[in-house]
Structure 1
């Protein structure tokens, strides 16, 4: 096997392909100093306990102190976690991350009294505080949000106990992460060149995109055989995570874990339910795509390991990272010179950790802490899918960048409901650009298929995940056992429903739930589908209306958490309280599918 097919060690990755975490802390000693400073500040919290109703000035000083603690603890935790993500086997950073996580829990415990004490202030007195001290005006929306959550906020002591349980509650997700990223071992397979190569998290999709069906099948079987050996442990972890969600929902007097999760964004449960219903109502469109895939691949039976296979075999993609950067910048020109300038700076000045290495956290994400710039973790492979991943994650990063520049800390982080909008706008605009500039029909056909695949993965697949989460939480809420067999049966049946009669639903796919990290962050994935739908509408407006739509969109990016997410999107021109944006997105999928059918 050639050296180029082996995973490199972290120290062998060129500096130009590494993120510059030194811009957060120049060295670990400075991190230690802030860690100690944070512990010292914790000792000062008690000066505010029991006194928030005394005066407007005391309340204001407490809220400012809370912000100071929040900014510092975010910075400490983000640095330690991202250092660990560089190589999960590095015990030094494992320890730093665990220490930071423990301190974050202590911060939560120390500040847990604030919301209950604010709720204990008589509404008229609180309004009087706002009139007396102009400094409190900054926190008016924050205080309104606390009031909205009155029915689900407990006493100061109860809130403290809940906060103290935070580190313990992280157990299922932390254990899954270590099992999935450090301990689970995948076999080698024989690649297209006849070499024995290891399956990794980063290479799996590349194998699944192979034109050789044998490679796809071997990778599929090898991956799920490995998870199958841990199936009972993984089922126990997911079961524990679901029970945690149900526990917190009941403690806070919500009707369900779903309601509790959505209430953080002030999103009605009907939005979630409408998404599932709307997608189910349009299954016939997706079944057409599955049937077309089977026809193009020319196979008697279409299997789950065929779902990523390229349909336009003549088009080869080998896109070095530097070329990917240029493609993304050119594809987002419609967002304006200022946006592209900020994008270029981020892509070329140490925001991005590009290459896969031994022990590195798989996948991709954008993250960071207020007061620094955002960072992007990639595991870049030279294909078009990863070009879109780069555009996607930089959408997140610039959303954070503009929010952090514009909003005070208390409103600096946007809600998860809108988290996938900016990333998907970038992908959609890049797709349109590449289709317009495609040199021939084959390239255009390839891009249409790529869009349809992105839609499949973002809308149909994530909605299936969302329905799975809804079902398993309802099972626990009704007292039913969530066994390994039950999880596999539920998941298998959903695949049958979503992929339809033209797809052979291989038994191995019933274990896919065992490898999805998002299931440990309950009811998150539906936002990929709603975000894609909102992005479809925003992108269309940007391309059709030009600068006015760009201006509205830029204001949305600057909005952070300064208003309810549905309101922020409304100001940008999209009403996600109605099914219309999802229906519109599905219509675009059908139009693209029809064009592809005609071209073939």
Structure 2
């Protein structure tokens, strides 16, 4: 096994070029000094935002200040991520974080001050040419937020409550990550080994069923011992959400959560109802999984078990780049030319080195090309990660190229669409190219499990959140047993008759961190559905669908996410995109069934 090199030992050809952001430390320092000066300049506008001219000037300075701060922050933290043990860049990262806090504090007066003006004044500013040309969407959003913004004193009081409101999440995090200890379990060799959050999924992916079962029961038995405390913590989080919804004059916690992205509740409800309609496909996949695993009963601990024999796909980085490039032919030559530039011109930091931040991400600052951090391994997962992160990067590139700074940043609701679409096109390409039945089955199960874990499972989570909040808002007090019953019944509904829904799974609600970022998980399902719908349209229709998709990439955050998707041909207020995604899932199952019949 090769030793991981230090940063200085790793090959510069595979490093990103952060010099494109700042050519030298001296350049960074000069920008830092400029920002410190501008913090004082922005303060001069406080109390003066009463006319269009003053607001336009203030917004322009705010944009300049925000962009410079973003550039400083991104550069310092990406330098830090190259080797997180290196002291100089640790200090630079901390310096940029402190500056960012100061800038946010300096800018914090702007929105409340403008919102203190009358609705008539705000509407007149939206029509004023000196503002509407660049800031129309910002002012429209402020006007939309106005009914839910309180008086200055009330907002100050709510701000003070902010730290207290984080208590349920903080307590859960400490308990789940620091205090929760699982018993040791036996691995495939009969050795007793430590069970942790990190190793749990590895145990569930074991080919030895007794290992999977032991890990599954050990985890949920442990959570079960803390069920009363964990239920109290989750209920406290729900109560916190309902408090904020009431105070800010929203009909429900769900509608308050959706308000930020201007998403109608019908989108959330529509996701759940459309997935319900297609649950027979999930049940059919469970039946197939049971057959492929050759078991008399399919249990919850069998969901991550590999369905095919060992199959290694050895794919080095250059081959991964070429395959992704070839797979994205349907997006056209202009897209692929930019993609090639990303591959060759210092966008990507490719390989692991000592101290490098783990995982993968796409990041950057407006005005400079995006960047991608990888820790590439020569396997299928890493190739999909490359396609995924470059999808994010291309979305940012086209948004920045076509939008002003303020309108370039797209929302989380849209963020996973471009990345997941690239994965969908890559999978389609690999499946069409594959002639080895074993390889094809490996790819099909890989993709089918993405549908299971992203579209179905995250929707089930979303439904659980909706039920729990609605029942609490109706005045019910949910006991630990109530939470377990709700969660268990959802598993029965989603997995169907071919699944033995083990009693232990009733405690799974207690280990889902996303339930403390309430009503967030549905975005995984909608993003996956929208991306799969886009991919299907592009493969079926060709250029007209590509043109619509490129329009989506170029829109950034210039409109509300539902409107941006709708213009591009994906209307999430209807069942159609989810139904299109389900048709792809159905095709995968049929291909798997054909291969299985041929065995």
Q: Same fold (TM over 0.5)?
A: yes
Deviation of 1:506 (Å): 3.6
CA, structure 1 residues 479+130, in 2 after alignment: closer, same or farther (shift >3 Å)? closer
CA, structure 1 residues 92+202, in 2 after alignment: closer, same or farther (shift >3 Å)? farther
In the alignment, the residues of structure 2 paired with residue 585 and residue 594 of structure 1 have an alpha-carbon distance, to the nearest angstrom, of 15
Deviation of 1:141 (Å): 1.9
Alignment of 1:353-502 (within 5 A): 355=352, 364-376=360-372, 383-478=379-474, 480=476, 487-502=483-498
Task: Name the SS of the counterpart of 2:266 in structure 1.
Answer: helix
- 8 Å CA contact 2:420, 2:531 repeated in 1: yes
CA, structure 1 residues 401+483, in 2 after alignment: closer, same or farther (shift >3 Å)? farther
In the alignment, the residues of structure 2 paired with residue 38 and residue 461 of structure 1 have an alpha-carbon distance, to the nearest angstrom, of 45
Deviation of 1:549 (Å): 2.0
Deviation of 1:585 (Å): 1.9
In the alignment, the residues of structure 2 paired with residue 257 and residue 449 of structure 1 have an alpha-carbon distance, to the nearest angstrom, of 37
Alignment of 1:567-586 (within 5 A): 567-586=563-582
- 8 Å CA contact 1:18, 1:352 repeated in 2: yes
Structure 1 residue aligned with 2:259: 263
1:485-538 Cα offsets, whole Å, 9 max, x none, are 655444333222211232233455444445444334322221222222222222
Structure 1 residue aligned with 2:295: 299
In the alignment, the residues of structure 2 paired with residue 532 and residue 104 of structure 1 have an alpha-carbon distance, to the nearest angstrom, of 32
Deviation of 1:312 (Å): 2.6
CA, structure 1 residues 244+513, in 2 after alignment: closer, same or farther (shift >3 Å)? same
Deviation of 1:461 (Å): 0.8
Deviation of 1:414 (Å): 0.9
Deviation of 1:561 (Å): 0.7
CA, structure 1 residues 546+584, in 2 after alignment: closer, same or farther (shift >3 Å)? closer
1:41-92 Cα offsets, whole Å, 9 max, x none, are 4444432222212x32101011122223433444455567667878999999
Alignment of 1:309-328 (within 5 A): 309-313=305-309, 315-328=311-324
CA, structure 1 residues 151+599, in 2 after alignment: closer, same or farther (shift >3 Å)? same
- 8 Å CA contact 1:275, 1:579 repeated in 2: yes
Structure 2 residue aligned with 1:525: 521
Which of 320, 326, 332 is the equivalent residue of 1:330? Answer: 326
- 8 Å CA contact 1:216, 1:306 repeated in 2: yes
Deviation of 1:429 (Å): 0.8
Q: Within the alignment, does 1:64 sit opposite 2:47 as a pair?
A: no
Structure 2 residue aligned with 1:48: 45
Task: Name the SS of the counterpart of 2:362 in structure 1.
Answer: strand
Which of 343, 348, 351 is the equivalent residue of 2:348? Answer: 351
Task: Name the SS of the counterpart of 2:590 in structure 1.
Answer: helix
In the alignment, the residues of structure 2 paired with residue 192 and residue 18 of structure 1 have an alpha-carbon distance, to the nearest angstrom, of 39
In the alignment, the residues of structure 2 paired with residue 31 and residue 509 of structure 1 have an alpha-carbon distance, to the nearest angstrom, of 52
CA, structure 1 residues 85+275, in 2 after alignment: closer, same or farther (shift >3 Å)? farther
Task: For structure 1, list consecutive stretches of 5 or more residues without a partner in the other structure.
Answer: none
Structure 1 residue aligned with 2:542: 546
Task: Name the SS of the counterpart of 1:366 in structure 2.
Answer: strand
Q: Within the alignment, does 1:566 sit opposite 2:562 as a pair?
A: yes
Larger Rg: 2
Q: Within the alignment, does 1:556 sit opposite 2:552 as a pair?
A: yes
In the alignment, the residues of structure 1 paired with residue 197 and residue 382 of structure 2 have an alpha-carbon distance, to the nearest angstrom, of 14
Task: Name the SS of the counterpart of 1:310 in structure 2.
Answer: coil
CA, structure 1 residues 466+83, in 2 after alignment: closer, same or farther (shift >3 Å)? farther
In the alignment, the residues of structure 2 paired with residue 380 and residue 14 of structure 1 have an alpha-carbon distance, to the nearest angstrom, of 13
Q: How many residues align?
A: 594
Task: Name the SS of the counterpart of 1:341 in structure 2.
Answer: helix
Task: Name the SS of the counterpart of 1:523 in structure 2.
Answer: coil
1:91-147 Cα offsets, whole Å, 9 max, x none, are 999998788667656655544443343344455555655666535411112211221
CA, structure 1 residues 129+463, in 2 after alignment: closer, same or farther (shift >3 Å)? closer
Deviation of 1:158 (Å): 3.8
Query: TM-score, normalization: structure 1?
Result: 0.83
Task: For structure 2, list consecutive stretches of 5 or more residues without a partner in the other structure.
Answer: none
- 8 Å CA contact 2:270, 2:573 repeated in 1: no
- 8 Å CA contact 1:80, 1:93 repeated in 2: yes
More displaced, 307-316 or 525-534?
307-316
Deviation of 1:272 (Å): 0.3
Structure 1 residue aligned with 2:270: 274
In the alignment, the residues of structure 2 paired with residue 510 and residue 578 of structure 1 have an alpha-carbon distance, to the nearest angstrom, of 32
